[in-house]
Amino acid sequence: MSNLTALEFKKMLKSGVANLSNCKEEIDSLNVFPVPDGDTGTNMSMTVENGLKEVMAVDCDSIGEMAKIFSKGLLMGARGNSGVITSQIFRGLAISLEGKKEASPKEIAEGFENGARVAYKAIMKPVEGTILTVIKEGAWYANHDFEKNSEIDIKEYFTNFYNYAKKSLDHTPELLPILKEVGVVDSGGAGLVRIIEGFKAYFDGAPVEFKSENSTVKNAALPQAEIENDEFGYCTEFILRLDERYRKGFDENILKKNLTKIGGESLVVVKDEDLVKVHVHMLKPGEALNMGQRYGEFIKLKIENMKEQHSTIMANAKNTVEAKNEEPVKEEIKEEVIKEEITEEAKPTEPVIEQLPSKKYGVIAVGIGDGICDLLRRCNCDIIVSGGQTMNPSTEDFVNEVKKLSNCQHVLIFPNNSNIILAARQVADVFTDRNVHVVDTKSIPACISCLSGFDPDGHLKDNLEEFERVLANFEDASVTYASKDTIIDGLVVNTGDTIAMTKHHIVASGKERMEVIYKLLDEMMMDEDKEIMTVFIGADGNNDEAALIEKYVTEHSDIEVEIFEGGQPVYTYLLGLE
């Protein structure tokens, strides 16, 4: 096969998606922590299956268009960090194949190498030893094989790509200490290798088909590393429309270099025709804004305080955004949309309009458990997206809910899980004309604490600063049970043990639940500056144990304890300390 056609590309995608889908339970079980919430395989599988559903629904003779459709499907279906990164890999491929009817093996290779670059840019603080490393090394080596042999065909390319990616995966423990300690590899990378393996199988003449039942999981122990590290300063994002004199000669690397000189971290600079999108972490965001404004006019601007620091520059920048957001044009557009919907209904009545009164804020939060959902509603939450640690909602799930809040000037999204934040962040890319703000909450207790200080009539800047203040001083913890035997951080964990965790660290493990909980509380109470502890009782928790928790804390500290019936699955207790 010389060039890859759209039809062959579609069949290749189907084989890759099927291979991952058939192995998703195996990938799910590959978790560095022995907790019953491994979901990397499910997230990646559901992400790529959504993309495959889109391409299978169309007949198209352009591989560029087919790649674009697949990429859009992945974007909307992206779940969890691994799913979001996978969507970015194929976004990079689609960008490279844009406008092409067919693609040579070399063009496919360049496309996947571009996919690695796009995926890295999507992550504020890329970590090596993860799926990012696997796509970067696998794609680079497979592409540069063409320098040795320009006659490589598509079958040989995917064989090489698979071999290089597999070799990179096997090397991930050397890059992440936690992987080496446990003696395993990265689960996101393992999922990607399964996809590439499926591509290879198609060109080998043995395409993978979907199985009705997945095979028995064996030798499961592959962890998924955290992608994000601690943040600092101000997360500064803006989109520029370049002045005409810069549109042809604009160099992204020069702007990156200049931003680095003034203290910029976690840099992403992307140019698309006459637009430039910049993401940078700054201690003095005004310096980044001044530098950006040299090249053109701001069309979108966002600055978020990532710690308890507030500068005059940030306030001025936020006020600029607020002034822009309060333009009356959007309200006029909303009224027109409502009228169009009413026209389509048979004899519409006034109450239809009354159902969508204008609001300053719409609040979306991820939650599960009757008690937790009830509490979220009492805390001004308009929409609850069902999900959590074991069920990560997709970008499309959030998009559908944001659409329901068309009457709101600002939409706030609380992901309430570190593995959901990236999918939520992609919503802002979908709604370029809406004011969507993601608050990086990683737990239900943190979300409740943020919402308790939320002012539904307050200024956006003030609310976002309050959320940042809360999160900068918040500590999460959880109690669950061990799903497998392991040794981590020198701690022996046996299947069925109660385990207590805080900050992705297992504090204690054992057969006696209250003994384990007391060890967790001892560690949490070491911070003498904390004043309030919240405890959410899970589905397998009980009031008697919660009372013992409250008694232990009040007897050993001055911390006030608040207890709620959460009803959440998997986690016996969720705790928050502020």
Q: Is the pLDDT of residue 127 over 80?
A: yes
In the prediction, which pLDDT does 1 show? 54
Sheet holding 383-386, edge to edge: 383-386, 359-367, 408-414, 436-438
Strand order in the sheet with 265-272: 265-272, 275-282, 234-242, 296-305
Distance CA 453, CA 484 (A): 40
* pLDDT value at residue 36: 57
Is the model's pLDDT at 267 over the cut of 80? Answer: no
| Nearest Cα residue to 448 out of 498, 398, 376, 392 | 376
- Residue 541's Cα: distance from chain center in Å? 29
Averaged pLDDT, 177-200: 86
- Evaluate if residue 191 carries a pLDDT over 50: yes
Number of H helices, E strands in the chain: 23, 16
Query: Which pLDDT score is estimated for 334?
Result: 34
Question: In the structure, what pLDDT confidence band is assigned to residue 469 with cuts at 50, 70 and 90?
Answer: very high
pLDDT of 225 reads 37
**Phi, psi angles (nearest 5°) of residue 295:** -95, -15
pLDDT at residue 365 in the model? 95
Choice between 83 and 335, residue whose per-residue pLDDT is larger: 83
Instruction: Tell me if 160 sits within 8 A of 152, measured CB to CB.
Output: yes
Instruction: Give the C-alpha separation, 25 to 451, whole Å.
Output: 36
pLDDT at 493: 86
For 371-383, the DSSP string reads HHHHHHHHTT--E
Question: Could you report the per-residue pLDDT of 470-511, keeping only the tens digit for each?
Answer: 999 999 999 998 877 888 878 888 888 999 998 768 899 999
pLDDT tens-place string over residues 68-79: 999 999 988 888
CATH topology (fold) of 475-577: Hypothetical Protein Tm841; Chain: A;domain 3 (3.30.1180)
Output the six-digit token pair for 7.
Answer: 């039809």
Return the beta strands (E) in 436-526 as ranges.
Answer: 436-438, 475-481, 486-488, 491-493, 498-502, 505-510
d(CA 500, CA 72): 39
pLDDT at 390: 64
Q: Report the pLDDT value the prediction gives residue 272, as an integer from 0 to 100.
A: 65
**Whole-angstrom distance, CA of residue 319 vs CA of residue 26:** 49
Residue 166 CA to residue 304 CA, distance in Å, equals: 39
For residue range 313-324, list pLDDT tens digits in order. 344 444 544 444
CB within 8 A of 134, min separation 6: which ones?
Answer: 165, 168, 169, 172, 186, 188, 189, 192, 193
Token digits of residue 82: 């691994």
pLDDT at 318: 47
Q: In one letter, which amino acid is 509?
A: S
CB 81 within 8 A of CB 188: yes
Convert the pLDDT of each residue in 537-549 to its tens digit: 998 899 999 999 9
Question: 522 Cβ partners below 8 Å, 6+ apart?
Answer: 556
**Which one of 3.40.50.10170, 1.10.10.10, 3.40.640.10, 3.30.750.24 gives the CATH number of domain 358-452?**
3.40.50.10170
Domain range annotation of the chain = 6-203, 234-325, 358-452, 475-577
Averaged over 1-10, what is the pLDDT?
90
Which of residues 506 and 304 earns the better pLDDT score? 506
Distance CA 6, CA 9 (A): 5
pLDDT, residue 488, reads 80
pLDDT exceeds cutoff 90 at 67: yes
Q: Which residue has the tokens 């300063």?
A: 233
**Phi, psi dihedral angles at 407 (to 5 degrees):** -85, 0
**The predicted structure's pLDDT at residue 347:** 34
The confidence score (pLDDT) of residue 311 equals 44
Q: Give the three-state DSSP class for 348.
A: coil
Q: Does domain 234-325 have CATH number 1.10.1060?
A: no
Q: Which residues of 418-457 are buried (b: 16+ CB within 10 A; e: fewer)?
A: bbbbbbbbbbbebeeebbbbbbbbbbbbbbbbbbeebeee
383-386 vs 505-510, strand pairing mode: unpaired
Nearest to 172 by CA among 200, 232, 132, 113: 132
397 versus 239: which is more confidently predicted? Answer: 397
Tell me if the domain spanning 6-203 has CATH number 3.30.930.10.
no
Contact 226, 249 (CB under 8 A): no
Note the pLDDT of residue 150.
Answer: 92
Residue with the bigger pLDDT between 383 and 221: it is 383
Tokens of 390: 């074991």
**pLDDT at residue 305 tops 70:** no
The angle subtended at Cα 403 by Cα 401 and Cα 408, nearest 5°, is 100
Amino acid 33: pLDDT: 63
- pLDDT of 332 above 60: no
* DSSP-based three-state secondary structure for 123: coil
From the list 523, 521, 496, the residue with the least C-alpha distance to 510 is 496
pLDDT for the residue numbered 326: 46
Q: Kindly give the pairing relationship between strand 475-481 and strand 436-438.
A: unpaired
253/271 Cα distance (integer angstroms): 11
Mean pLDDT over all residues of the chain?
Answer: 83
User: What share of the chain has pLDDT > 70, as a percent?
Assistant: 84
With both helix axes pointing from N to C terminus, report the angle between 40-56 and 63-77 in degrees, rounded to the nearest 10: 140
User: What secondary structure does DSSP assign to 176-236, as a single string?
Assistant: -HHHHHHT---HHHHHHHHHHHHHHHHHTT------SSPPPP-S-------------SEEE
Q: Are 232 and 306 in contact (CB under 8 A)?
A: yes
What confidence tens digit (pLDDT) does each residue in 372-405 have? 999 999 999 999 998 876 678 889 899 999 999 9
pLDDT per position as a tens digit, 333-386? 233 332 333 233 333 333 333 345 789 999 999 998 999 999 999 999 999 998
Which secondary-structure segment (H or E) carries 266? strand 265-272
Residue 53 scores a pLDDT above 50: yes
Where residue 527 falls among pLDDT bands split at 50, 70, 90?
Answer: confident
Residue 512's pLDDT band (cuts 50, 70, 90)? very high
Q: Which of these ranges, 145-149, 284-288, 473-477, 537-541, has the smallest mean pLDDT?
A: 284-288
What is the reported pLDDT for 123? 83
Question: Which tops the pLDDT comparison, 577 or 321?
Answer: 577
The pLDDT of residue 288:
83
CA angle, residues 347, 349, 354, in degrees to nearest 5: 150
d(CA 467, CA 157) in angstroms, rounded, equals: 49
List the beta strands (DSSP E) in 394-497: 408-414, 436-438, 475-481, 486-488, 491-493
The pLDDT score that the predictor gives to residue 37 is 56
pLDDT of residue 277: 78
Which of 8, 70, 24, 5 lies closest to 205 in space, CA to CA?
8
Please list, in sequence order, all residues whose beta carbon lies within 8 angstroms of the beta carbon of residue 109, skipping any fewer than 6 positions away: 139, 142, 143, 145, 146, 157, 161
Q: Using pLDDT thresholds of 50, 70 and 90, give the confidence band for residue 222.
A: very low
pLDDT band at 26; cut points 50, 70, 90:
confident
* 300, β-bridge pairs: 239
